[in-house]
């Protein structure tokens, strides 16, 4: 019976040491992330996040961002800031949500297209 008690004490001490080591590691990672953010060091921050992702999801396949995908993304049309600001103002002036205004605008646009055939 004393052997079992000793084993349990040893096991709990090991668990305690593991938890303490893990907490220290996590605190160190948080410090590293904060330092990278404050310094504006995007490369270090990216490396830290990739390492953490690999640690949490070792089986995940991470493919690097290719220049082709980046160029294709940048070519896609996006909403212009002025237009978005107008949508936010309209929503605010009428106590509506921006998504409601966008859906309403799309409905009006589709009806106009169906009526006239013009884009």
The tens digit of pLDDT for each residue in 84-111 reads 889 899 999 999 999 999 999 999 999 9
Between these two residues, 67 and 58, which has the higher pLDDT value? Answer: 58
**Share above pLDDT 70 across residues of the chain, in percent, rounded to a whole number:** 64
- Identify the helix (H) or strand (E) that includes residue 58: none
Q: Does residue 27 register a pLDDT over 90?
A: no
Write out the two tokens for 10.
Answer: 């040893």
The DSSP 8-state label assigned to residue 98 in this structure reads H
Spatial distance between the Cα atoms of 3 and 10, rounded to a whole number of angstroms: 10
Between these two residues, 115 and 31, which has the higher pLDDT value? Answer: 115
Q: Which pLDDT belongs to residue 48?
A: 83
Q: Does residue 34 register a pLDDT over 60?
A: yes
Q: Which pLDDT belongs to residue 118?
A: 86
Q: Which pLDDT belongs to residue 104?
A: 94
Q: Which pLDDT belongs to residue 73?
A: 64
Q: How many CA atoms lie within 13 A of 22 on its CB side?
A: 7
Spatial distance between the Cα atoms of 88 and 92, rounded to a whole number of angstroms: 6
Spatial distance between the Cα atoms of 29 and 52, rounded to a whole number of angstroms: 9
Write out the two tokens for 105.
Answer: 């605008």
Sequence spans of domains, the chain = 2-75, 81-116
pTM above 0.75, yes or no: no
């Amino acid at each position: 019976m004393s052997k079992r008690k000793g084993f349990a004490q040893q096991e709990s001490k090991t668990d305690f040491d593991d938890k303490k080591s893990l907490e220290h590691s996590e605190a160190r990672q948080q410090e590293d992330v904060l330092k990278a953010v404050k310094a504006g060091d995007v490369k270090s921050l990216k490396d830290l996040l990739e390492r953490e992702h690999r640690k949490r999801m070792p089986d995940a396949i991470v493919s690097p961002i290719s220049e082709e995908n980046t160029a294709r993304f940048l070519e896609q049309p996006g909403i212009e800031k002025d237009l978005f600001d107008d949508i936010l103002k309209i929503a605010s002036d009428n106590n509506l949500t921006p998504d409601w205004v966008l859906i309403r605008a799309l409905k009006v646009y589709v009806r106009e297209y169906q009526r006239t055939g013009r884009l």
